[in-house]
Amino acid sequence: MGNPEHVTQAVAQIRGRYPGAITGEEVIKSGLRMLVVKKEALLDILALAKEQLEFNVLYDLTAADYLEREPYFHVIYLLHSHTQWVKLMIKVKLERENPLLPSATRLWPSANWFERELYDFYGIRFEGHPHLKRLLMPDEWIGHPLRKDYSLTEEPVQFKGVRTHKLPSEVIPKKYE
Amino acid sequence: MWKEQIDLELERVKTDQEKGTETMVLNLGPQHPSTHGVLRLVLELDGERVVHCEPHIGYLHTGIEKECEYRTYHQVVPLIDRMDYLSSLHEEMGYVLAVEKLLGIEAPKRAQYIRVMMCELSRIASHLVWLGTGALELNVSSVFMYCFRDRESILDLFELISGARMFPRYFRVGGVMRDLPRGFEDAVKQFVGEFRVHWKEYHDLLTKNPIWRMRNEGIAVLTREQCYAYALTGPILRACGVAYDTRRAFPYSAYPEFEFELPTQPAGDAYARYLVRMSEMEQSLRIVEQVLAKLPQGPIVAEGLQPSSKSERSVWWRHPHRGFLVPPGESYVTVESPRGEKGYWVVSDGSNKPLRVRMRSPSFVNAQALPLLVEGGYIADAVVAIASVDPVLGDVDR
């Protein structure tokens, strides 16, 4: 079992060092602590977490497109400490127009492919990344597929016993709220 | 013009001759039997030595993350089965737990026990494929045949519970699809008994085999710091002497109720990874036996989620086409898959479809570290290095 006290102390330290940079704090439903920070202070906070607060692993780096709510990407950095066995999530809200973030590859080499993946799927550019190009999609691909305004391309599917062709969206249930 | 080019070329050859060496670029994959799928490595060779390695991935990218955003919560389960196709149940476990956290429900005890048992059987099946194909890489084809024989028995068990061998889509939000069929526990007991014997045979065939040791010992060495830097988890990390396992560090489902050890090895080479995975199979057998001994009776779906009940939530189940609504929020759940730590980040916007499903797949992270393992070694050892990482390309490319 990990040491949850460590996260509390780490959050207090980050708050003490960068009081103006933190815009929100939340415990997400699976019990992880999440800090919402400003883009400008992101790299400093990550460096602080790595070098002084024992978060020695960048465990995950990914994003979500909140287009239907607000014109922002939510980028999360999931930090993990192998000495204390705890995780801390750091979230940045990033405007959808011309998204740009500082690269974390100098701190953790594992950020390399994560950032390339985000560039590929969301078009987020990372300043200072050594080799920012598409990773999973072909190099000549146009558009960034995981953006909400990039629609799922469809082709008609022949279903057995159905005379007319149907599009997948006609078969997939509609969105309910 | 052409004369200048010839001069340039002669100059290059001369300098190469002075150095006494010339490198060659070799393309390994994507259609190569020893890359475990459609992994492509561009290797720069100096004689037999690999001086530079660049992995190219994406040949199996199917856009599952995008597809998930267009499906209701239960329609996602068969999709994610196709990612890590050797241990689909771990995918389902991570996803289902994440959605349950969003809903604020918990599966009943019997369902949790069944899930743990199926996950551990799945781990054995996955490790058997790794062992079989890894041995086949070094031309030990008998072990390959034996391993697939045992894996077949596990797939038969999956077929008993769900009707499908490789993609069981057995876990549901709030429980499991259906209860264990009659005679299933005896079938598992029989498998455990048989596999114990076979497991010892594999040890006898390989562990002290001088050729196996020569090809694996000291190959593809990683240090603990490199593992941290590249966020490596699972057997690779434990083979570097770190006793870290999500089942222990962030216990989920019914794992705290079972006893098991975390096998570690200090060396960090391919042979250490082999030993760790072999011991893990034995620990999985231990967990399966404990589940069978303690398996409680009771419901298999969380209260209020059965289609027959009259509570409010059962309304969701009267319209399977429409799915059910999940309150807005996000959850991040990690589970220990055979390849490392699997993370599921599910974001809900309150509708019947997820806003985002992100899989932090261990194969993807491990594949990034391949250059560390391959560079500096012989090209023949590159094959061993890939096998020791055990990448599943469906999981890498998603």
Closest in A29, A31, A59 to B231, CB measured: A59
ipTM for the complex? 0.85
The CA–CA distances, whole Å, from B390 to A152, B64, B124, B135, B340 equal: 32, 21, 14, 12, 10
What's the mean per-residue pLDDT of chain A?
A: 83
Crossing angle for the helix pair B184-206 and B141-162, to the nearest 10 degrees: 170
Closest in B230, B351, B364 to A176, CB measured: B351
**Is the separation of the CB atoms in A35 and A22 below 8 Å?**
yes
Q: What is the total residue count of chain B?
A: 398
pLDDT computed for residue B127 by the predictor = 92
Residues 6+ apart with CB under 8 A from B340: B232, B233, B234, B235, B236, B237, B362, B363, B365, B366
Mean pLDDT of A32-52: 87
For residue B231, which residues of chain A lie inside 8 Å, CB to CB? 57-60, 80, 108, 110
Closest in B75, B230, B250 to A109, CB measured: B230
pLDDT tens sequence for chain B (398 residues): 556 766 776 676 566 666 666 788 888 878 877 777 788 888 888 888 888 888 888 888 888 888 888 888 888 888 888 888 888 899 899 999 999 888 888 888 999 999 999 999 999 999 999 998 888 888 888 888 999 999 999 999 999 888 888 888 888 888 888 888 888 889 999 999 999 999 998 888 888 888 888 888 888 888 988 889 998 988 999 998 888 888 888 888 888 888 888 888 888 888 999 999 999 999 999 999 999 998 888 888 877 665 544 444 444 455 556 677 788 889 999 999 998 899 999 999 888 888 899 999 999 999 988 898 888 888 888 888 888 888 888 888 88
Q: Tell me whether strands A100-102 and A125-127 are parallel, antiparallel or unpaired.
A: parallel
Q: What is the pTM of this model?
A: 0.86
Q: Is B398 on the interface with A (CB under 8 A)?
A: yes
List the single residue in A with minimal CA-CA distance to B97. A30
Alpha carbon distance A47, A104 (integer Å): 9
> Residues of B numbered 100-129 whose beta carbons fall under 8 angstroms of chain A's beta carbons: which are they?
101-102, 104
pLDDT computed for residue A173 by the predictor = 61
* Closest listed residue to residue B36, CA positions, set B91, B85, B71: B85
pLDDT computed for residue B177 by the predictor = 82
pLDDT computed for residue B323 by the predictor = 72
From B390's Cα to the closest Cα of chain A, the distance in A is: 18
Q: Is B235 on the interface with A (CB under 8 A)?
A: no
Single-letter code of the amino acid located at B303 = E
The CA–CA distances, whole Å, from B5 to A108, B1, B18 equal: 43, 7, 20
pLDDT computed for residue B241 by the predictor = 87
* Closest listed residue to residue B174, CA positions, set B120, B116, B113, B108: B108
Q: Is A113 on the interface with B (CB under 8 A)?
A: yes
**Is the separation of the CB atoms in B230 and B372 below 8 Å?**
yes
Closest in B72, B250, B397 to A173, CB measured: B72
Interface contacts A/B by beta carbons within 8 Å: 117
For residue B70, which residues of chain A lie inside 8 Å, CB to CB? 152, 168-169, 172
The CA–CA distances, whole Å, from B132 to B121, B142, B193, B320, B338 equal: 16, 9, 20, 41, 15
pLDDT computed for residue B304 by the predictor = 61
pLDDT computed for residue A164 by the predictor = 62
Position A105 pLDDT exceeds 50: yes
Single-letter code of the amino acid located at B356 = R
**Torsion sign across C-alpha atoms A37, A42, A48, A53:** positive
**Is the separation of the CB atoms in A103 and A129 below 8 Å?**
yes
B5 sits in which H/E element: helix B2-19
Q: Is B231 on the interface with A (CB under 8 A)?
A: yes
How many other C-beta atoms can be found within 10 angstroms of the C-beta atom of residue B78?
15
Phi and psi, residue B210, nearest 5°:
-60, -35
Rounded to the nearest angstrom, the gap between the alpha carbon of residue A27 and the centroid of all alpha carbons in its chain is 17
Position A176 pLDDT exceeds 70: no
Render pLDDT for A40-49 as a digit per residue (tens, 0 to 9): 888 888 888 8
pLDDT computed for residue B51 by the predictor = 85
For residue A58, which residues of chain B lie inside 8 Å, CB to CB? 231
Q: Report the residue of A83, A136, A139, A169 to disrupt the B interface, i.e. the one with the largest count of B CBs within 10 Å.
A: A136
Position A27 pLDDT exceeds 50: yes
pLDDT computed for residue A169 by the predictor = 61
Rounded to the nearest angstrom, the gap between the alpha carbon of residue A47 and the centroid of all alpha carbons in its chain is 18
pLDDT computed for residue B17 by the predictor = 60
Q: Tell me whether strands A33-37 and A86-95 are parallel, antiparallel or unpaired.
A: parallel
pLDDT computed for residue B214 by the predictor = 87
Q: Is A49 on the interface with B (CB under 8 A)?
A: no
- Contact A177/B350, CB-based, under 8 Å? yes
